[in-house]
Structure 1
Amino acid sequence: MKLLFVLLLLTASTTSFVASSQSIEHEFDKFNAIYQAQLGATRGCKSPQMNVFRVCADSLKNDGNAPYILHHNKVTDKVVVLFHGLSDSPFFLRSIAQSIHQQGHNVVVTLLPGHGKKQADEDMQDTELADRWRVHVSEMIDFSEGLGKQVYVGGFSTGGGLASEYILQNPKAVKGLMLFSGALALDSSVESMANIWGIQWLAKILDGEYKTLGPNPYKYPSVARFSAFELTEVIFSVRELIAQGAPLNLPIFAAHSMADITTPIAGVKSLMAVNTGPNRLFEIPKELDVCHADLVIDQEQLSDMKFNASMLEEIMPCNVPEANPKHAEMLEALSQYLTTY
């Protein structure tokens, strides 16, 4: 009996040790510290949720703009790091993050420097903005290694461009790449202007005082011209890395609308063409007319967005959000990708 008791005690102690060694509570403190440095003082969020660690701050427009972690209270086999697009926020990655989390993975949804804030004029005219994005991408990928055994990186629009650049520069750092309306090419007129001497100085003048409040509480009302040229710097860097023969051998998932004129699909296809790993491309037919920013929106997000169209001076194509009619199919294709690779 004494021997049995000792064995049971040892088993219980071992189980307790394994459970504690898998704990990720200390990772939440690190996550909070990262965003304290970026946003200033942080605070508790107004509507806490189970299995969600969110970092809220008074400097943000609202809690929906806050970065967050969807977790399983332990280290998972895979952790996915998601980066949002230019002028928007983690809100736009919500349905994608939830779908990945439901598969049993931890998910880190980041907030790029300069975004989600009540005051962003200084950020959106910072000559070091692209480099600040790059530093944050690297920092968050390094951080996420404490949440999963294999790290996958995903990005919407600008977030996709930054994720692609990181992977081309660090080919063995992550297991897979996911792109949603990936910004690896822009309209040719925008790209041409980016090469004009002094264009960023002119962009600052045209931007004036950058406004952050508008009809969408989770997005800036316009893309700052200056920050758009910071994005072209990243896109041109990706092309240069491809031209130089940077190694790329990993599973890539990309979802893109053929009607997207903001970030033409040619950029994504160029990246896939040099990838020696498996590619999975989810194309949305042109006739469905899914706009660039709408690819990541489902009906629930659209409802929660409470977009106030009455604040628009005029209704132009793609400036009133709509749900992606192929959203559920896109998430199913993403799920198959993560299951397979």
Structure 2
Amino acid sequence: MFRRLNILLSLLFLASCTVPPNSPRFQPSENLPPYEQESFDQYVRETRAWVADNRAFIGENHDLEIELNTPFEIRPAEPAQRGILLVHGLGASPWYFIDIATAMANDGWLVRSILLPGHGTRPADLMLADNEDWENIIAHHASLLAAEVDELWLGGFSTGGNLVTSHAYTDDNVDGLLLFSPGFYPDTNYLFLTPAISLFWDWLNIDEEDNIATYQSLPTQGASLYYRSVSTVQKNLETARFEKPVLMTMSQHDSVLDPNATLKAFQNRFPNRQSRFVWYGDTPQNLDDPRVTDLVSHLPERRISTFSHMNVLFAPENAYYGEAGSYIMYENGQNDIPRPVDPENLWFGAWGQSAAEKYHARLTWNPYFVELLDNIREVTVD
């Protein structure tokens, strides 16, 4: 769902392609769930019940859909001294962090992944959320986690990366950040129009909802919320450098963001020597920062042309998005090549990736996932 936000193109076709069907998925719930409970366990229980009551289910396995869209906590075997709060991206779900969360808990971390208001049920619920909801839920649960551990980290994917970075500028309890494809710099010049557009049109994009972990459709309010997160984090980055350790990842071929601007921001605004930037793609020109690691993203032996915005988070073994997972993102911005009948002829890449006689689905797993875990350990070392 959160692909290139070309607002101008959306405006040109708005009248013809953004009228939602008569479906519960495009009608908002009566309200959003509370998120300022006194304990994380209570928050999980009440949010799970709300998701169960309000979700417009896609498939027959309702329990699985509820599970993937419910906040979760994983505790290590021994009492934890370190904790991390993980925040997903626009249209995504807490489950996006399940592979990273499991690995970090095995390393002794107390890990929590929250549900941003407006998510987990139906795309229309993004119309009910505002920026204060997103900022307040992170502040509340960061405070709850800080009370239980000696060392607090925040992690975020895409829009979640913007939100946790902005919070870290205001919260002295935060000891560091893990940022996966952070959405600091969108690859569009028209995002600033979304707050105004949201006053007149409800939807920027209507798609078939067939993915139980991600919204495919985008209300204008959702794009507006992303814009506000961009505006806030860019102001923070312009005002002051972030001195604490950070891990940042980015694909050279990210179709949503400006990767080079993100790399430049890392080099100029995140000076901690312990910080690391993992770049998936060709070696950037004139790179002289030893904190930057580049990994080849063109892996033809695995039928991978490029890395996508989202694939960094998922292990190849992931049951839903993994290399042999049950869900494949066939819809990938190409219509001129027929989908292959034999899965062995399917290639993978970023949204919009195309090549002669190759049909590209979205890449949804990270071939370097083990290396990513090592990167996390390197940045978070005591």
Classify 1:38/1:98 alpha carbon distance in 2 versus 1 (closer, same or farther; 3 Å). closer
| Partner AA of 1:198 in structure 2 | A
Q: 1:217 aligns with which of 191, 212, 215?
A: 212
Q: Which residue of 1 aligns with 2:183?
A: 183
C-alpha displacement of 1:110: 1.4
TM-score by structure 1 length?
0.74
CA deviation map 1:103-129 (0-9, x unaligned): 111111111111111x341x3113x52
Q: CA RMSD in A?
A: 3.0
C-alpha change, 1:42 and 1:326, in structure 2 (3 Å) is: closer
Distance 2:271 2:236 in 1: 15
How many residue pairs get aligned? The number is: 289
Describe how 1:102-251 pairs up with structure 2 within 5 A: 102-117=106-121, 119-121=122-124, 123-126=125-128, 128-170=129-171, 172-189=172-189, 192-195=190-193, 198-206=196-204, 214-245=209-240, 248-251=242-245
* Residue deviations 1:138-166 (CA, integer Å, cap 9, x gap): 11101112332110111111111100110
Contact 1:309 1:320 in 2 (8 A): yes
SS at match of 1:138: helix
Match of 1:262 among 244, 248, 256: 256
Distance 2:255 2:91 in 1: 17
Contact in 1 for aligned 2:93/2:120 (Cα 8 Å): yes
> Per the alignment, do residues 102 and 206 of structure 1 end up closer, same or farther by CA in structure 2, a change over 3 Å counting?
closer
- When residues 197 and 262 of structure 1 are mapped into structure 2, their CA distance, relative to the original with a 3 A threshold, is closer
Q: Given that residues 48 and 66 in structure 2 are in contact (C-alpha distance below 8 angstroms), is that contact kept between their aligned partners in structure 1? A: no
2:295 aligned with 1:299: no
**Conserved in 1, the CA contact under 8 Å of 2:51 and 2:120?**
no
Structure 1 alignment gaps of length 5 or more: 1-27, 44-57
Deviation at 1:241, TM superposition (A): 2.1
Q: TM-score, normalised by structure 2?
A: 0.67
Q: In the alignment, residue 313 of structure 2 is paired with which amino acid?
A: V
Q: Give how far 1:130 is off.
A: 2.0
Runs of at least 5 residues in structure 2 that lack an aligned partner in the other structure: 1-36, 53-61, 283-296, 299-305, 340-350, 354-360
- Partners of 2:195 and 2:127 lie apart in 1 by 17
Q: Report the CA distance between 1:322 and its aligned residue.
A: 3.1
SS in 2 for 1:178: strand
Question: SS of the counterpart of 1:299?
Answer: coil
1:197–1:166: structure 2 CA closer, same or farther, 3 Å change rule? closer
Q: CA deviation at 1:326?
A: 1.9
- Residue 236 of structure 1, CA deviation: 0.8
Whichever of the two has the greater Rg, that structure is: 1
Aligned counterparts of 2:237 and 2:138: Cα–Cα separation in 1: 19
Higher fraction of helix: 1
Percent identity reads 19
Q: Distance in 2 between matches of 1:258 and 1:309?
A: 20
Q: Is the 8 A contact 1:214 1:311 kept in 2?
A: no
Q: Which amino acid aligns with 1:256?
A: M
SS at match of 1:169: coil
Q: State the distance in 2 between where 1:102 and 1:181 align.
A: 24
Structure 1, 302-311 or 97-106: larger mean CA deviation:
302-311
| 1:33 corresponds to | 42
Give 1:100's aligned residue.
104
